[in-house]
Chains A and B, each alone.
Chain A
């Protein structure tokens, strides 16, 4: 089984709808991240969480919110989706100790907002 899973893998929705993307991990990591990928722009950080009570904005948090329900679960919400939020979304995790600087990525969720 994959260590970092994302659901759904694909989603098509309409402008104005509320959308939630979910991320779960079995790696036992404290830190979790949400990124979006757009062609030619690489990945950009939306939000990150270093533990259940620690949530931080990334460089492009406007229009998004997150919830860290448990150590293993980190959800990303689009309260009112708009077409320019069409992108590939990735969740990632990182741990502590000697490997703390390495992030492990989920398979991604492709979101299309019409």
Chain B
């Protein structure tokens, strides 16, 4: 069975400071892992994905995530937060039995303070 846990439901950072959004996963298979962002009243946009290539994955808007198999983690980071980063972020695991069904985390709402 697969599952994903986002360790923080809310994160607040000041503009210009680093962002860390934490995600742990559980999977019996070699997982594909994703981060999506949802801005208010918008759909979900793919930030980045890991599919067993490089463990450090770079995404859009300066975000990156590192796949750590030993820690079963896929944390999302950004060196310097911008006001436009305020949104909800979802960690997703996929890859079960070739169905490519997604299992979503419960989301982390990022607030960026001026």
Contact = CB atoms under 8 A, between A and B. Distances in A.
Contact of B95 (A33, A44, A101): A101
Nearest to B106: A42
B51 interface: yes
Interface in B35-49: 36, 42-46, 49
Given A42-B105, A48-B101, A90-B44, A102 B90 contact: no
Interface stretch (A12-20, A62-70, A75-83, A103-111): A103-111
Interface string B101-112: 110111100000
Contact of B90 (A42, A92, A100, A106): A42
A88 B1 CA distance: 26
Contacts of A108: 42-43
A50 to B, nearest CB: 8
B100 A106 contact: no
Q: Interface residues of B toward A: which range?
A: 20 to 34
Given A43-B104, A48-B101, A102 B43 contact: no
A45 B106 contact: no
Interface in B15-49: 32, 34, 36, 42-46, 49
Contacts of B106: 40-42
B100 A94 contact: yes
Given A31-B100, A94-B100, A102-B34, 12 more contacts: A4-B43, A40-B107, A42-B90, A42-B106, A43-B44, A45-B101, A48-B101, A58-B101, A101-B100, A102-B49, A105-B43, A108-B43
20 contacts: A31-B100, A33-B102, A40-B106, A41-B106, A42-B106, A43-B90, A44-B104, A45-B102, A48-B101, A100-B100, A101-B32, A101-B49, A101-B51, A101-B100, A102-B34, A102-B46, A102-B49, A105-B36, A105-B43, A105-B45
